[in-house]
């Protein structure tokens, strides 16, 4: 990190101070004489990192000023994952990895505030049982998972005030045996990070301590944005063996050319092989289409 201002020196000193008290990976930002930070070990393919914990926690704990806080640059002591980059792209502003952390002999007087991982108390098993009893009225082989997702999306209440409403988006995670194993509803009016796909992935991991299993499919009523796409990519056991079906296209810029799309900047950056560069992961589906389910 090239020093160009007193702010840069302060950032290096803050990072140095964290290295003396934190033995794991961390992310932080400075705002209004406060330093917000999160710490966590980077575990391959898991849906939590210091960056995701920091951003999601700021939206959760400081909803009225979260956008102001997150306009400030986030700094990390680790190489950024595609998941971290995707979440910053959609819900924050800027991020940088500090490669050379050093002491600057500066006394930092700002208040230090740790943002912790949210504790999840929902019973995913009970919720899935209720969901399937409500919508699964046919034999498993005849199920239209996208239709179930659309029914779920319509249960999201539309408020009178536009900005108090969540978009009606829902998604399902279906395993290779055609069992619904997780789902998510959009909650972005409460927390800008809580899109349906993020909720689905994090709910599944928090309940089962498992990543997106090989051979599974995701059915979502709206094309995933860059944040959701990057978490799907990051958390898949085998990205070459997962399919994402969406019902409605999203004309917004944040859903264009995501990591799930071939030839995008994100795909070129994230792919570790020619297979990953060229594999078709995401496709649009209508109710009239018959979807081949990994040849089964």
Of all residues in the chain, the percent with pLDDT exceeding 90 is 72
Non-local (6+) Cβ contacts of 90 within 8 A are 192, 193, 225, 226, 227, 254
What element of type H or E holds 294? none
Q: What is the mean pLDDT of the chain?
A: 89
pLDDT value of residue 296:
34
Is 205 a residue whose pLDDT tops 80? Answer: yes
Residue 284: both structure tokens together:
């649009």
Mean pLDDT of 276-280: 95
Report percent pLDDT > 70 for the chain.
88
3-state secondary structure of 172: strand
Which positions ≥6 away from 39 have C-beta within 8 Å? 22, 24, 25, 26, 50, 114
Q: Name the more confident of 274 and 158.
A: 274
Name the one residue in this structure whose structure tokens are 């020196």. 9
User: Hey, which residues does 174 pair with through a beta bridge?
Assistant: 180, 217
pLDDT greater than 70 at residue 203: yes
According to the model, what pLDDT value does residue 246 have?
97
The pLDDT tens digits for 51-77 are 999 999 999 999 999 999 999 999 999
Residue 122 pLDDT grade (very low, low, confident, very high; cuts 50, 70, 90):
low
Pick 121 or 189 by higher pLDDT. 189
Give residue for tokens 């990057």: 230
Per-residue pLDDT at 163 exceeds 80 = no
In contact, 200 and 131? CB cutoff 8 Å? no
Chain position carrying tokens 């003396």: 20
Residue 13: CB partners within 8 Å, gap ≥ 6?
103, 104, 105, 106, 108
In this prediction, residues 253-265 reach a mean pLDDT of 95
Q: Would you call 114 exposed, middle or buried from its count of C-beta atoms within 10 A (0-12, 13-18, 19+)?
A: middle
Q: Predicted confidence band at 4 (pLDDT cuts at 50, 70, 90)? A: low
Instruction: State the pLDDT confidence band at 266, using cuts at 50, 70 and 90.
Output: very high
């Amino acid at each position: 990190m090239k020093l160009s201002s007193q702010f840069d020196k302060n950032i290096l000193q803050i990072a140095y101070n964290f290295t003396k008290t934190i033995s794991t990976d961390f992310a932080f930002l400075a705002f209004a004489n406060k330093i917000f930070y999160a710490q966590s070990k980077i575990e391959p393919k898991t849906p939590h990192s210091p960056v995701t914990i920091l951003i999601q926690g700021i939206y959760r704990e400081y909803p009225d000023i979260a956008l102001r806080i997150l306009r400030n640059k986030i700094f990390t002591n680790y190489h950024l994952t595609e998941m971290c980059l995707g979440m910053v792209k959609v819900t924050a502003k800027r991020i940088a990895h500090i490669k050379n952390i050093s002491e600057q002999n500066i006394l930092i007087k700002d208040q230090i505030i740790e943002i912790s991982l949210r504790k999840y108390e929902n019973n995913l098993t009970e919720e899935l049982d209720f969901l399937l009893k409500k919508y699964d009225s046919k034999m498993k082989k005849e199920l239209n998972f996208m239709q179930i997702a659309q029914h779920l999306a319509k249960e999201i209440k539309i408020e009178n005030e536009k900005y108090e409403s969540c978009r009606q988006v829902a998604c399902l995670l279906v395993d290779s045996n055609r069992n619904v194993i997780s789902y998510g509803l959009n909650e972005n009016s409460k927390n800008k990070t809580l899109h349906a796909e993020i909720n689905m992935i994090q709910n599944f991991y928090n309940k089962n301590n498992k990543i997106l299993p090989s051979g599974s499919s995701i059915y979502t009523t709206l094309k995933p944005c860059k944040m959701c796409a990057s978490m799907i990519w990051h958390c898949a056991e085998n990205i070459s063996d997962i399919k994402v079906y969406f019902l409605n296209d999203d004309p917004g810029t944040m859903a264009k050319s995501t990591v799930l799309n071939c030839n995008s900047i994100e795909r070129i950056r994230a792919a570790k092989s020619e297979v990953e560069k060229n594999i078709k992961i995401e496709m649009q589906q209508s109710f009239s289409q018959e979807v081949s389910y990994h040849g089964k």
